[in-house]
Amino acid sequence: MKLTNEGLKDRAAWQEKGYSLPEYDRERIIVNTKNNPIWIHFGAGNIFRAFQANVVEKLLNEKAMDTGLIVAEGYDYEIIEKYNRPADNLSILATLKADGTVEKRVIGSIVESCILDEENEKEINRLREIFRAPSLQMVSFTITEKGYKTRAYMNKVVGLILERYKAGSLPVSIVSMDNCSHNGDKLKEAVLEIANEWVKEGKCEVGFVDYLNNPKLIAFPLSMIDKITPRPDDTVKQMLMDDGVEGAEPLVTSKHTYVANFVNAEETEYLVIEDLFPNGRPHLEKGGLIFTDRETVDKTEKMKVCTCLNPLHTALAIFGCLLGYKTIHDEMEDKDLKNLVTRLGKEEGMKVVVDPKVLSPEEFLDAVLTKRLPNPFMPDTPQRIACDTSQKLPIRFGETIKAYRSRPTLDTDNLEVIPVVLAGYLRYLEGVDDSGKAFEQSPDPLLDELKALSGKDVLKRKDVFGVDLYDDNLAKKILEIYANMQKIGGVRKELEKL
């Protein structure tokens, strides 16, 4: 079973092994897309293949769309050269469900792949052609926040947007789908910085900057994305190989990208987008995406980051390191840790959660606790999540503390779980686990600085916690718990008290 256009002609062989296949005329979709491109996406990574491409796949099958996706890669060209094109841009999505079942689907919605290389005339000319197309409605990105700060990459992107301006100031929406706060604003800022420099250097006219600042022509919507797509999993690889799928062995590019003809991902996914599309947009809401206003996107992000997911992740990361766990899902088998994050979310967080209305905080949190964190197919590690913890604490816990202090019906004296987590962080900074064995803390820009301080002095750092913990009884409570945690087995005893 070869994942190519030719290989899919034996539909019965694939279906017999449980694979869902494209139900549309893919050749017709390829022609439609080439002639009238609607959506081009930058970043040929796993989240795009598992999420956006799957949404379009559903809509093609339902005949709600008649054009596919174009993907462009501007960082690691080998992804396109070694995976996309040899597989005719086809991909396998293995959705790993919390009940242990796997849904296997062949994705055909990516119908063209491009390389963002200005030195390759054929490649860059095709991209310029796409950007000059009046039909183009959306240019989207999953290149990580670092991508917007990478000048060489963004220069090429801005060059393509300039092509659209030269073609008649054609409208389009430029959408960051990266997992960072106010992503659309960061993308716009990066684009405008380059455009303004180009005007000064005489590389383009001032009208280009006016074009970028005209919301009737160019929009940079905010979005909130949430989906876990780990690197190709060995269990899934073996399952596909046992099915007879050729080429399931992942390749590692020279830039250390893990590439396979499949992507594995959890079933839960959210993408909330500010509805700003000057040239129109596909009906992606039919595929589960949520389009709303700017304030609501902001609220969904706060719900996730301050209450329903990220604080739980950070708590598990800290105590996973202290208790010697290697995976998050194993931690959810520990009754004390499960109790910790359940109470953190349901009791302390829910009292001050920001409710965006378009998503239910209760349902979101329930999915995190019952499907996402316990999923054995999601091999995430506390050590990975513990990276940069000092940078995460102000948002993930400081905002909740602020909310408790600002509401007359609430009192930080009633917080029990958050003080345990912050005491656990002080204990984590020691680099010694609950059995007395040394461990290596995860990378963090403030790690060495904080390790050199006493627990009392660490708690004085408003930059770390987002609030002054000495403004009420929180610091005193945290230090008392921390003192108990310093004994062998003390971490476990404090968790058992909750």
Q: Write the pLDDT tens digit of every residue in 123-156.
A: 999 999 999 999 999 999 999 888 999 999 999 9
Contact, 179 vs 299, CB < 8 A?
no
The residue ranges of DSSP E strands in 28-171, in sequence order, are 39-42, 69-73, 91-96, 102-107, 110-115, 138-141
Boundary-marking domain end, from 246, 266, 292: 292
What band does 259 get if pLDDT is binned at 50, 70 and 90?
Answer: confident
What's the token pair of residue 115?
């390389």
Boundary-marking domain end, from 292, 315, 350: 292
Let me know whether 372 and 230 are in one domain: no
Give the tens place of pLDDT for each residue, 33-84: 999 999 999 999 899 999 999 999 999 999 999 999 999 999 999 999 988 9
C-beta pairs of 198-207 under 8 Å, 24+ apart in sequence: 198/158, 198/162, 204/162, 204/165, 207/165, 207/169
| Length of the chain as a residue count | 498
Q: Indicate whether 1 belongs to any domain.
A: no
Eight-class DSSP state of 345: I
What band does 257 get if pLDDT is binned at 50, 70 and 90?
Answer: confident
pLDDT value at residue 186: 96
Tally Cβ neighbours within 10 Å of residue 74: 23
3-class DSSP state of 254: coil
349 is in which domain, residue-wise?
Answer: 296-497
Let me know whether 135 and 71 are in one domain: yes
Helix H or strand E segment including 494: helix 490-497
Let me know whether 318 and 228 are in one domain: no
What's the rounded Cα separation, in Å, for the pair 481 and 420? 7
Q: Indicate whether 48 belongs to any domain.
A: yes
Let me know whether 356 and 381 are in one domain: yes
pLDDT value at residue 180: 87
Let me know whether 239 and 330 are in one domain: no
Give the tens place of pLDDT for each residue, 396-448: 999 999 999 999 999 999 999 999 999 999 999 999 999 999 999 999 999 99
Please name which of 1, 51, 21 lies closest in space to residue 264, comparing C-alpha atoms: 51
What band does 376 get if pLDDT is binned at 50, 70 and 90?
Answer: confident
Q: What is the average pLDDT across 303-323?
A: 97
Let me know whether 113 and 169 are in one domain: yes
Taking only Cα atoms into account, the Rg of the chain, rounded to an integer number of angstroms, comes to: 24
Q: Is the pLDDT of residue 103 over 90?
A: yes
Where do runs of H (alpha helix) occur along 251-309? 294-303
Give the tens place of pLDDT for each residue, 208-231: 999 999 999 999 999 999 998 877
What's the token pair of residue 257?
């990208």
* More confident position, 475 or 98: 475
CATH number at residue 476: 1.10.1040.10
Q: Indicate whether 463 belongs to any domain.
A: yes
Q: What is the average pLDDT across 469-488?
A: 97
Let me know whether 278 and 406 are in one domain: no
Q: Is the pLDDT of residue 252 over 90?
A: no
Boundary-marking domain end, from 244, 277, 292: 292
What's the rounded Cα separation, in Å, for the pair 104 and 290? 25
How open is the CA angle 166-168-174, to the nearest 5 degrees? 80
Give the tens place of pLDDT for each residue, 437-463: 999 999 999 999 999 999 999 999 999
pLDDT averaged over every residue in the chain: 95
**Percentage of the chain lying above the pLDDT 70 cut:** 100
Let me know whether 278 and 365 are in one domain: no
What's the rounded Cα separation, in Å, for the pair 374 and 380? 11
Q: What is the total count of domains within the chain?
A: 2
Let me know whether 239 and 93 are in one domain: yes
Let me know whether 358 and 436 are in one domain: yes
The pTM assigned to this predicted structure is: 0.90
Let me know whether 151 and 87 are in one domain: yes
CATH number at residue 76: 3.40.50.720
What's the rounded Cα separation, in Å, for the pair 393 and 98? 28
What band does 5 get if pLDDT is binned at 50, 70 and 90?
Answer: very high
pLDDT value at residue 398: 96
Q: Indicate whether 2 belongs to any domain.
A: no
Let me know whether 270 and 301 are in one domain: no
